[in-house]
Chains A and B, each alone.
Chain A
Amino acid sequence: KNEVEQSPQNLTAQEGEFITINCSYSVGISALHWLQQHPGGGIVSLFMLSSGKKKHGRLIATINIQEKHSSLHITASHPRDSAVYICAAIYYNQGGKLIFGQGTELSVKP
């Protein structure tokens, strides 16, 4: 079964803290997305990666194919980073559909 497990489900941090959100998946993915959803609904894809590491501003995403694990890091967190972060995998046998993790609700306090 194609699954995506994400942790933690909820995370509260103080402004400036380094944050890590983890995602594990089963074999056979072609790529993995990290998504951000702010209150109000809209979702934005932060990264799509199939190997290695990507960085955009204070956000870093890594993926370890052997370990079947990906992480999203936020450096110097800020209250505007408060959102739900979702990892979503694209499996070869699912024809492009995304399999979503449960999401991590992040709250960054000033």
Chain B
Amino acid sequence: DVKVTQSSRYLVKRTGEKVFLECVQDMDHENMFWYRQDPGLGLRLIYFSYDVKMKEKGDIPEGYSVSREKKERFSLILESASTNQTSMYLCASSFPVSGTSSGNTIYFGEGSWLTVV
């Protein structure tokens, strides 16, 4: 059974703390994504990665950074958490668009609910 696992389901952090959200996939996917989801704003892409050590900014990268040192792991880092980063964070992975395995579908983690106080 394919799986995208996010390390923390619920977190509460203080303003200014450094926060790490970890995501691991077991499908050998090249593509990995970090989204945040907020009421009324839907899903917004923060960063994505096409391959190890590759990263590209999404629509809302400010205040975030990412790390992809191994193919299966994509980490989202909040260098100095702020209250406006309170949100639900979703990780996802997929094969490249041109890939053929698994019908190119995308798999999501269960989400990480982050509260910054």
Residues of the A chain whose Cβ atoms lie less than 8 Å from the Cβ of B56: 95
- Determine if B74 is an interface residue (Cβ-Cβ < 8 Å): no
A96, B43: Cβ atoms closer than 8 Å: no
- Determine if B88 is an interface residue (Cβ-Cβ < 8 Å): yes
Residues facing B in A8-50 (CB within 8 A) are 30-31, 33, 35, 40-45, 48
Residues of the B chain whose Cβ atoms lie less than 8 Å from the Cβ of A45: 105-108
Among B16-24, B62-70, B77-85, B96-104, the stretch that binds chain A is B96-104
B113, A48: Cβ atoms closer than 8 Å: no
- What's the minimum C-beta distance from B107 to chain A, rounded to whole angstroms? 7
A41, B105: Cβ atoms closer than 8 Å: no
A42, B97: Cβ atoms closer than 8 Å: no
Residues of the A chain whose Cβ atoms lie less than 8 Å from the Cβ of B37: 41
A31, B108: Cβ atoms closer than 8 Å: no
Residues facing A in B37-76 (CB within 8 A) are 37, 42-43, 45, 48, 50, 56, 58
Complexed CA–CA distance, A101 and B41 (Å): 10
Contact-residue bracket for chain A: 20 to 34
Residues of the A chain whose Cβ atoms lie less than 8 Å from the Cβ of B45: 97-98
- What's the minimum C-beta distance from A104 to chain B, rounded to whole angstroms? 11
- Determine if A100 is an interface residue (Cβ-Cβ < 8 Å): yes
B109, A42: Cβ atoms closer than 8 Å: yes
B97, A30: Cβ atoms closer than 8 Å: yes
B42, A98: Cβ atoms closer than 8 Å: no
- Determine if B94 is an interface residue (Cβ-Cβ < 8 Å): yes
27 A–B contacts, CB within 8 A, in A order: A31-B97, A33-B106, A35-B108, A40-B110, A40-B111, A41-B88, A41-B90, A41-B110, A41-B111, A41-B113, A42-B111, A43-B90, A43-B108, A45-B106, A45-B108, A86-B42, A95-B50, A95-B97, A96-B48, A96-B96, A97-B33, A97-B48, A98-B45, A100-B42, A101-B42, A102-B42, A103-B42
